[in-house]
Structures are given as C-alpha cells and as structure tokens.
Structure 1
Amino acid sequence: MSSEKFLVCTGAMCQCKQGFTPDSLNVLSQNKYYINDQGGSTKLIGNTMDLGLPFKAGTFGMCKLQPNGSSYNPCVPSITGWDGAYEKAVLGNGGQILTEESKGICAIAGSPVIEFITNGQMGAPQASNFEDTSDEIHQELNPMVQIQELINKGPFEGVEVKLS
C-alpha cells in the first residue's frame, strides 16, 4: 500500500456521504498557486480556505439529512472546515493544501462527510516514462510501434515545419 498522497486542485470530484450526486471542487480562495498544468495556469491548488460553497454546481443533489415526506430537501453544502490537509505547507492565503484524503466538514452534518473521488490532476506522460520501460512491455502493449525507433528519432525528426 502506497503512502503517497496526491494534492487536489480545481476540478477534483467530490462526493458527500449524505448526498446523491458528485460535484467538482471550484477553488476560489486563491489565484496564485497552480498544479499539474504545463502552462501553469489552469489548475488552482485546493486548500483549507476553500470554505462555504466551493463547488461548481453547488449541490450534491438531495440531502439525506434533510428528509421531506417521502423525499429529501435539496443539498446546499456549507463547508466549515477541512480535516486531513497537508500540514507541512501553508499557502499565501493562510490555507493548508488539501490532499485526496482530506475530508470536508459540512455545517448540516457537523462532521467530515465530503470526500474526494478524484484529485483533479491530469496525468501527462513524459519521455522518461517510455525510456524506463522494457522493450518487451512496449511490444506487448503496442506491437505496431517500434518504441526504440521513436525514442532515438526524437519528436520532430522528419517533420517539416513551415513558419509564415
């Protein structure tokens, strides 16, 4: 079992134990610290200052803690705090970084009921991912490609580029 914890960012999917529909994190507490974007401009890091209603749709559907006859009242989450943040770093806004193991405390439940389903990061393979894998594995996964030829050629060999 890995002890690796991934940081969460804008777009991380969340689920409330008392709701029915997931929603995505919308970081509004800061606009300076980014993660996992080659351009460095689209994935804001989630942190403990993302309070109130930091979700894109602003609801997890219906709330099981608010029965209404044979149904439930709509969920309107209100985050009062976060448990399980990464405590070794504090952002400029005073918030600690959220990890995929962090849990949001909702005012309705009074306990940490909001969990992360995904961390919001998008993996991007690098050349080292291919270079560190054996030729046999590459051949099994994609028998039509001679991976060593691609590695030796480089990304632009034989490509004609026209600038206007």
Structure 2
Amino acid sequence: MSEKHLVCQGAICSCKFGSAPDKLTVLTQSKRYINDKDGSQKLLATHMDIGKTFEKNLFGSCAKLNNAPCQVVVTKWSGFYEKITLQDNSGKALLEDSKATCPIGAPDCISIINHGQIMEASAQNVENAEKEVLMELFPFADLHQYIRKTDMLDAKN
C-alpha cells in the first residue's frame, strides 16, 4: 500500500460536474492541527466536515444544473482513514483519495486535488540537520555562525 497524506484546511477539491476548484474549510473542530509548525492554520479535516464546508461553496458552473452556478453541499465522505478518530467531533481523518457526495451531483463526485499540506522548514529542522548537507544545499549561505555554534555544543557534550 502506498503512503497517503492526511487532508487539512485549505485542501483543493473539485467536482466532476463543476468548472472550478474550491478550498476545503474545516468547521467541525478547532484543536487538531497537522503540518503546521505554529499550530494555527492547518486543521485536520474529517468525515464530519459536511454541509457547506468550502471557502466559496462553489465549484464554478454545474453541468448537472445546465451550467448554472454550483451550490455545493457535502452530504457524506467516503474513503477516510478508519484508524484515526478525533475526540472533538468523532470524525475520521480524510485522506488525499477520499471522495465526497453532493446531492446534486452523484456519489463520490467531489475529489481532492491537493491535500493541503505544505513542506515548511523550522529552526528545529535546521538544528537537527547535518552540517555537510546544509553546506551542500545552501552553498552561498553563510552557515559558519551556525556551524561554529553547533560545534561548540558538540564539544560540550
């Protein structure tokens, strides 16, 4: 089984009957963050995020409504991760291949284009990195101050 990413606030979703994507908004819990070093932006999305749970609640024009504006309302999610249940909302974590159902569209007509997680380096990542690797990755950066600082720490230990 290949590795699948958990979905978070800001994930990009689309409907196979819509003409534009929209961003997922987590409204059912406010404590569980992922992929967010400050714990302030990337709430974990769950199968309980139903209803009007998108930033614009609009996937452009809807082919099922003769190209009238989409009126997305999620009635249920499928393909979520059964092994994680949040205490806050009894929700199961959404995965990047989870699908949602809209009553106007069809079962599983909404899919996740991008899970919403982004790679973000923190100071701890830099501190834990090997000096030689940092020098290879950032050949023009002045890392001597960082290297001297870590060398002094290593010498003390």
Instruction: Report if TM-score (shorter chain) is over 0.5.
Output: yes
The match for 2:85 is: 90
The match for 2:68 is: 73
TM, length-normalised to structure 1: 0.77
Cα-Cα RMSD: 2.6
The match for 1:101 is: 97
In the TM superposition, structure 1's runs of 4+ consecutive aligned residues that sit over 6 Å from their partners are none
Q: Which runs of 5+ in 1 are unaligned?
A: 158-164
Q: Which runs of 5+ in 2 are unaligned?
A: 153-157
Which deviations, in whole Å up to 9, do the C-alpha atoms of 1:46-99 show, x marking residues without a partner?
A: 0001111100011000001111xxxx1110111111111011011121110001
Q: Secondary structure at the match of 1:65?
A: helix
Q: What is the aligned length?
A: 147
Contact 1:8 1:100 survives alignment (8 Å)? yes
TM, length-normalised to structure 2: 0.80
The match for 1:160 is: none
Q: Larger % of helix: which?
A: 2
> Residues of 1 paired with 2:84 and 2:129: CA distance?
32
Q: Larger % of strand: which?
A: 1
Instruction: Tell me which moved more, 14-23 or 121-130.
Output: 121-130
Seen in structure 2, the aligned counterparts of structure 1 residues 142 and 82 have a Cα distance that, compared at 3 Å, is same
Contact 1:15 1:115 survives alignment (8 Å)? yes
> Residues of 2 paired with 1:64 and 1:154: CA distance?
61
The match for 2:9 is: 10
